[in-house]
Amino acid sequence: MMKQTIMKYLACAGMVCSLAACDDWLGNQPKGEMIPETLSDYQMLLNGQSLYRSLDVYPLFFTDDIRLTGRGEIQNTNASTGAVTNYTSFDYMDKSQEMRNAYSFAEGDIFLPSDDDAIWNDGYEHIFTYNAIINNVLATTDGKDTDRKRVWGEALVGRAFEYLNLVNLYGNHYDAETADTDYGVPLVLSEVMTGEQYPRASVAEVYRQIEEDLNEAVPCLAKVVNHPFAPSQSVGQAFLSRMYLYMGRYEEALTNANAALESNSYLIDLTEYEVLDHGTFGRIVRSDNGEEYPDPQDNDENIYTRTPNNTSYLFAVVAASDDLLETFRKDLTEGQADMRKELYYCTDSCDRTINGGRPDYFRGFTTYMPYVDMNVGLGTPEIYLIAAECEARVGDVDRALERLNTLRDKRIRNNVHYATPTSLSREEVLRLVIDERRREFAFVGLYRLIDLKRMNRESWFAKTITHTAGNDGSWTLPPNDPRYIFPVPERVISFNPMPEYDR
């Protein structure tokens, strides 16, 4: 049963194994494998390192944050294999096809039939683990009941996190008028697979499950946790605020964001940091004592830490778009500096030897090269911005600006506050918030992609994205185009046929 359970689940995730490997799992407990039985077993399962890595960088290739330099003549020779790669044609590592298809807004599939989609695979693998915990940990007999419920609640948050990512990548953006019929993703809530295929749930069904998971989880979570890989009560509230924001339920999003900020409102002060004049990790340090910028798990503004896959190849092949750089120049007065731009980006002179990247390839361009692991989980900056956006939409516009001022004090050297009371309209304040979201989450592809999908429905924002690669081509993506929706990988469809969007 354990083998059948895992293999059928992985098939749903689009993964393949040999029959020999399958036979290893038939019947009894596999040799060398642990079947969880106790509370401590499920806690160990929840602490598995694989759960802490999530998503991938390729959603960024659908956004307006990046550009290729178009220098197709700049090539790189792999020292170990002698292979020559050309950046403009995306012949880099094993990512060439997906990068090319995403950047050119290709119709149809992104991945080749033989390729895996890491976001889909990892998401469902993680969901399998969370399901095993959710459906079994409360029946354990060791430990305290409060600890069983805490572990159960943490797994519910983890499952909600994965489904919120999946439904927003592979489904139409939530629209109350169409969500009941829009395709979402398969909604799998059991770790025991019976052999049936998994229907594609609607966007509304997936969101209802996310909301139920989070509401059940919050009362069970600890108020204080020992590390940011585990969610606290405020994290549960913050995820509710994100979910309600995506749904357009702004009053509920604001209520939950404010509750989360009451528990944790810390922001790291980027104005206290500077960049050393040398290459890779450790280049961002405190100005007063040289202490390195903290890793994601040590940065107190990261309240739920998840790190993405494959950031290194992204940094080696793309530059920041002119459109993004222009956003960094907005809303500044003389003498101010946006430290996100100063610390995380390099122009011309930065060492770009990461994964064999050529410095001359980026000459004349600005690249995102922070040498800091990003967090794609949840942090207090997002909660400030959710609160600010919801205040701008349905609350107090002055309060929205106060939230922005608080964040910008920690991001802008010599920051000058937006004045309150303000004469700005709600739409003008909302524009300030959306620009701030873009600056704060630049190069975190999922955030910007979802913002584009949801904001393009509003006439004041609707935006056509154009990608170029020198003389190699130009491609456009109009607002609300179905190509914003990721296709379910062909390898998954071959195991589990389901209806698809026409993209």
Q: How many CB atoms lie within 10 A of CB 392?
A: 27
SS3 405: helix
Distance CA 358, CA 314 (A): 14
Q: How many CB atoms lie within 10 A of CB 403?
A: 25
SS3 345: strand
Contacts of 189 (CB under 8 A, 6+ apart): 131, 134, 209
Which CA distances in Å does 175 have to 233, 395, 405? 28, 22, 31
Contacts of 265 (CB under 8 A, 6+ apart): 380, 384
Question: Which secondary-structure segment (H or E) carries 6?
Answer: helix 2-12
Question: Which secondary-structure segment (H or E) carries 378?
Answer: strand 378-379
Closest listed residue to residue 478, CA positions, set 463, 459, 460: 463
Q: Which two tokens stand for residue 232?
A: 């606290």
Please write down the long-range contacts of 97-101, taking CB distance under 8 Å and 24 or more positions apart.
98/58, 99/58, 99/61, 99/317
Distance CA 158, CA 131 (A): 10
Which CA distances in Å does 305 have to 49, 235, 374, 382, 387? 12, 11, 9, 13, 20
Question: SS3 string of 113-129?
Answer: CCCCCHHHHHHHHHHHH
Q: Count Cβ atoms within 10 A of the Cβ of residue 149 and give its class: 0-12 exposed, 13-18 middle, 19 or more buried.
A: middle
Distance CA 268, CA 410 (A): 7
Q: Count the alpha carbons within 13 Å of 451 in the hemisphere toward its beta carbon.
A: 27
The pLDDT tens digits of the residues spanning 131-173 come to 999 999 999 999 999 999 999 999 999 999 999 999 999 999 9
Distance CA 278, CA 284 (A): 10
Q: Count Cβ atoms within 10 A of the Cβ of residue 262 and give its class: 0-12 exposed, 13-18 middle, 19 or more buried.
A: exposed
**Given this model, what pLDDT does residue 98 score?**
80
pTM of the model: 0.89
Closest listed residue to residue 125, CA positions, set 51, 48, 41: 51
The answer to whether the beta carbons of residues 488 and 170 sit under 8 Å apart is: yes
**Given this model, what pLDDT does residue 458 score?**
96
Q: Is the dihedral of CA 497, 499, 501, 503 positive or negative?
A: positive
The pLDDT tens digits of the residues spanning 320-375 come to 999 999 999 999 999 999 999 999 998 875 654 444 445 556 777 888 888 888 89
Q: How many CB atoms lie within 10 A of CB 269?
A: 13
Please list the residues that pair with 76 across neighbouring strands: 85
Distance of CA 290 to the CA centre of its chain: 30
**N-terminal to C-terminal alpha carbon distance within the chain:** 38
Contacts of 243 (CB under 8 A, 6+ apart): 160, 164, 207, 210, 211, 214, 253
Please list the residues that pair with 77 across neighbouring strands: 84
Distance CA 445, CA 185 (A): 20
**Weakly modelled stretches of the chain, pLDDT under 50:** 1-32, 72-89, 92-93, 352-357
Contacts of 1 (CB under 8 A, 6+ apart): 192
